[in-house]
A = this chain, B = another copy of it.
Amino acid sequence: MKIFYTLFLLALLSSISHAFVNDFCVANLNGPDGPSGYECKAPNTVTVDDFVFSGFVAGNTSGIFNAAITPAFVSQLPGVNGLGLSVARLDLAKGGFVPLHSHTASSEILIMVKGEITAGFITPAAAYQKTLKPGDIMVFPQGLLHFQVNSGKGKATAYLAFSNPSPGAQLLDLLLFGNNLPSQLIAQTTLLDYAQVKKLKARFGGRG
């Protein structure tokens, strides 16, 4: 009896391709990507582990910014391919912060988990800043420069949600001082003092 119904359902769906019975496109990370994401893995090779990431834990906050980002983007979680969504974990040691940065094609929501973070974003017209504690969330609209500073007395942790499966991160200092453009050009187009540029180029690895 059971077999009868199963066969019947298969018959009902018989002229329907694999695209019909799967409603996701798990990234084939070994293949090329395109403007809308990676190619889809063959559905019969997809497992639940393509939709689960188990390394969403605190990163090492002992570096210069005392900050760690643990991403769960398409590279870590291939099931988000094409879905316009990803997340990350942010850990800040005491005094830690994420310097000014933006995401080229992604908005971001920060969910406070622990400690206290002062966060904000800047538009040409105004700056929007708030000190956040557990129970607070804050949204940073797409493409705007924003920062997060541990303003509390201990560690701080937050979760970040992004409207892009691979949101990128344009860290301002890395952009300005980590490249090989002539320091004079950077000074001119930022209006920073030449000495300031040279000092930070030395720190962020830029040449020129």
B residues in contact with A77, CB < 8 Å = 137, 139
- Chain A stretch 1-58: residues in CB contact (< 8 A) with chain B: 1-6, 8-9, 11-13, 15-17, 19-25, 28-29, 31-40, 43, 47-48, 51-57
Chain B residues whose C-beta falls within 8 Å of the C-beta of A35 in the assembled complex:
25, 36-38, 40, 81-82
Number of copies: 6
Q: How many Å from the CB of A72 to the closest CB on chain B?
A: 5
Closest chain B residue, CB of each to CB of A138 = B52
**Which residues of chain B have C-beta atoms less than 8 A from A33's C-beta?**
19, 25, 39-40
Chain B residue with the shortest CB-CB distance to A70: B15
Q: How far is the CB of A97 from chain B (nearest CB, A)?
A: 6
* Number of chain A residues close to chain B: CB under 8 A: 141
> Cβ of A140: which chain B residues have Cβ within 8 Å of it?
51
Partner of A169, one of B56, B70, B109, B124: B124
Q: What residues of chain B lie closer than 8 Å to A124, measured between beta carbons? A: 13, 21, 168-171, 174-175, 178
Knowing A16-B75, A19-B73, say if A6 contacts B205 (CB, 8 Å): yes
Interface pair A129/B172, CB less than 8 Å apart = no
The interface of chain A, by Cβ under 8 A from chain B, is 1-6, 8-9, 11-13, 15-17, 19-25, 28-29, 31-40, 43, 47-48, 51-57, 59-60, 63-65, 67-77, 79-87, 97-100, 102-105, 107-109, 111-113, 118, 120-130, 132, 135-145, 147, 149, 159, 161-163, 166-176, 178-181, 185, 188-193, 196, 199-200, 202-205
